[in-house]
Structure 1
């Protein structure tokens, strides 16, 4: 009679690896279970999913304790530099593409509805109101730009009384909240007329860097990424019965369209800003003297609420 000899092929190293993996999995399971009692099911889903992804990241890259400390210091510095005029956490979300991905998830395609893009850190409540054809520049330096268009629903019907918030940087790349004298410039709000039309004078958009003197800028520098944003003009449009739209328009021909630091460019939002020579009559008869100017058209289509 012969007997099969069973040989144990495991090694101490393999045993240790299995034990290490078991400990890591057990810890993740324990943290997940700690949220089981959450009464809000959505909160429970968010926190448990975050835990799974965060633990998986730590295990995948074999995060060191020094790296963990560096991350904590980075987030602490991000909090310290954030105040009522600067939101470094939004900037951090922007440069990771998290802002754009959230926007993409939450603004599903609806016919020809205008695409949304990042909100950015420079929106300010209670911007002054202007009438149609008014000027948002407020003395900010830059080339005058005539902006006009309509606001309609996806059915093509005009939307009268839609509120349009607009804001932009000056030709030096600064928003008014970055000025030191507290003046308001480069921002305003207005309402569409009974046919859904709007128009205003702004500034021809120019490229500028996102704030890069803080932790987010240090991260970009460490990874060889540029802080530059493609030239753009911000819009936020609200109207009863319609989904709020936060978007920009971009300048066709800008060399930064393919490398915008916050991934905000959509092809459908790239517009022609047509240069006008000095002396060219303006749409509203405004006298600009010998100054050249530009003009563009942006027709906005709002999706219905709940879409």
Structure 2
């Protein structure tokens, strides 16, 4: 565990760097959010519509879908869409035990820029409060909670890599995220009966993403606030490849 990175997050420095990174873009796409310590460089490649959770509790399953476009709403086909989140108990897979691979997957957008998958409703959670940073947060009379969210890393040739997250609008800590990562423009609702949802019969979350073009002089990444020691290689998931995704077609 990296207390220094956690300190940077809880002081708002990581979020500040994220904001400065956004301002260097040549055009404004979806705003970024913190990568966090639980990203894995390699995760299962899954077909569209797959369930990314191996543990689906009754009443928690939902559909996550949207479109990947440029800032002019032109669809971006074959974009690499990596998602990861907590389970319904507020834990990431790496917190459940060595070698666990769950609540994450890598998808490719279709010819219309669409992506869709099944998952479980994420739960907010507390940062570690048993170390120096937790002591500082308590001394400031702050809670240690992060609102429920789902992380994204989206990449396509010719576009800036996008690191962002969606946040559930009904989470009580949306407005006071302990690491200052949430924002209103990234907040979404869980809908029922959405006619546009590609998988029927389940609650759904729609999250569209706009990618900014990559400039010739700016090839920076938005991977802010990550702990490199937590980027692990996952154990193979039965029936699923863990090979890195093939580069998107030009």
TM-score of the superposition, structure 1-length normalised? 0.64
For the residues of structure 2 that align with 1:144 and 1:110, how far apart are their CA atoms? Answer: 38
Aligned to 2:214: 305
Q: What is the Cα deviation at residue 141 of structure 1?
A: 4.9
**Any stretches of 5+ residues in structure 1 without a counterpart?**
1-81, 277-281, 287-292
State the superposition RMSD in angstroms.
2.0
Aligned to 2:76: 159
Question: If you compute each CA radius of gyration, which structure gives the higher value, 1 or 2?
Answer: 1
Conserved 8 A contact 1:115-1:266:
no
Q: What is the Cα deviation at residue 92 of structure 1?
A: 1.7
For the residues of structure 2 that align with 1:174 and 1:151, how far apart are their CA atoms? Answer: 28
Aligned residues: 211
Q: What is the Cα deviation at residue 111 of structure 1?
A: 5.3
Aligned to 2:45: 129
Conserved 8 A contact 1:250-1:265:
yes
The higher-RCO structure (CA 8 Å, 6+ apart) is 2
Conserved 8 A contact 1:164-1:236:
yes
Q: What is the Cα deviation at residue 156 of structure 1?
A: 1.8
Relative to structure 1, the CA distance from residue 192 to residue 266 in structure 2 (aligned partners, 3 Å threshold; closer, same or farther) is same
Task: Find out whether 1:207 has 2:124 as its counterpart.
Answer: yes
In proportion to residue count, which structure has more helix?
1
For the residues of structure 1 that align with 2:146 and 2:92, how far apart are their CA atoms? Answer: 13
Q: What is the Cα deviation at residue 218 of structure 1?
A: 2.2
CA deviation map 1:243-289 (0-9, x unaligned)? 1111111111222111110111121111111257xxxxx84368xxx
TM-score of the superposition, structure 2-length normalised? 0.78
For the residues of structure 1 that align with 2:151 and 2:34, how far apart are their CA atoms? Answer: 9
Task: Find out whether 1:104 has 2:19 as its counterpart.
Answer: yes
**Any stretches of 5+ residues in structure 2 without a counterpart?**
219-250
SS in 2 for 1:113: coil
SS in 2 for 1:120: coil
